Amino acid sequence: DTEVTQTPKHLVMGMTNKKSLKCEQHMGHRAMYWYKQKAKKPPELMFVYSYEKLSINESVPSRFSPECPNSSLLNLHLHALQPEDSALYLCASSHPGGEGKTQYFGPGTRLLVL
Amino acid sequence: SQQGEEDPQALSIQEGENATMNCSYKTSINNLQWYRQNSGRGLVHLILIRSNEREKHSGRLRVTLDTSKKSSSLLITASRAADTASYFCATDASGGSYIPTFGRGTSLIVHP
């Protein structure tokens, strides 16, 4: 199984809502990533988990809260978002550490904040 | 920033033609990867080339790496309409965290 799944595929939320994005993989990868991608731009790294521990937080606002409950699951909790947070949110996984890490990406969650 | 810069930003060709995309980067790297992204979808890994390699092939893809010029090229031969997508190079810097940093991407349109 070389698939990374993400739910939901689409999400519309108001600025006062709380929602969560979910990501799952069963490839035995112990590194998982959240990226944000705006239209016609490259993915921007938000968070990296390595062996279920947060290893990188790219100065992301606290209204985004990641969680890695186990080695297969990665969540991104959303609260009090702004319209400029509307984007495609991509999850990826890979083997941790070392050179030549190929990342496997999920299809993304298209988020619209009203 | 280690971010790669793809060139051209947009490329429009006819089916059957070859497509060449270039990527330049700023600092020494361990390896360089190319990814494809269909509109609004996740990225798909195409090929990885290590810093001590100069050329790699995979099917209709040919990747070259010139570390002296800090550049790479991706050639897609005999293009198909299904190759229409955005293509990103990703590098990870020597002595860095091995997390790929993506370039701006090239948007390729292949007309049937």
Can you say how many angstroms the Cα of residue A45 is from the centroid of all Cα atoms in its chain?
A: 9
pLDDT band, residue B1 (cuts 50/70/90):
very low
User: Which residues, including other chains, have CB under 8 Å from residue B53's CB and lie 6 or more apart?
Assistant: B65
What pLDDT does residue B30 have? 86
Residues B44-70 have a mean pLDDT of: 96
pLDDT band, residue A80 (cuts 50/70/90):
very high
Please tell me the distance from the alpha carbon of residue A26 to that of residue A74, in angstroms, as a whole number.
12
Please state, in angstroms and as integers, the Cα–Cα distance from residue B60 to each residue in B6, B32, B51, B63, following that order: 20, 18, 22, 10
Q: How many CB pairs under 8 A join A and B?
A: 59
Locate the chain A residue with the closest alpha carbon to B103.
Answer: A42
| Interchain CB distance below 8 Å, A99 and B50 | yes
Judged by DSSP in three states, A83 sits in helix
- What is the least distance, in Å, from the CA of A104 to any CA of chain B? 7
pLDDT band, residue B40 (cuts 50/70/90):
confident
| Interchain CB distance below 8 Å, B48 and A4 | no
Please tell me the distance from the alpha carbon of residue A20 to that of residue B73, in angstroms, as a whole number.
39
User: Which residues, including other chains, have CB under 8 Å from residue A8's CB and lie 6 or more apart?
Assistant: A21, A109
Residue A43 has pLDDT above 50, yes or no: yes
Please tell me the distance from the alpha carbon of residue A21 to that of residue A75, in angstroms, as a whole number.
6
Residue from the list A90, A92, A100 with its beta carbon closest to the beta carbon of B31 = A100
| Interchain CB distance below 8 Å, B92 and A101 | yes
Task: Please provide residue B61's backbone torsions phi and psi, each rounded to the nearest 5 degrees.
Answer: -100, 140
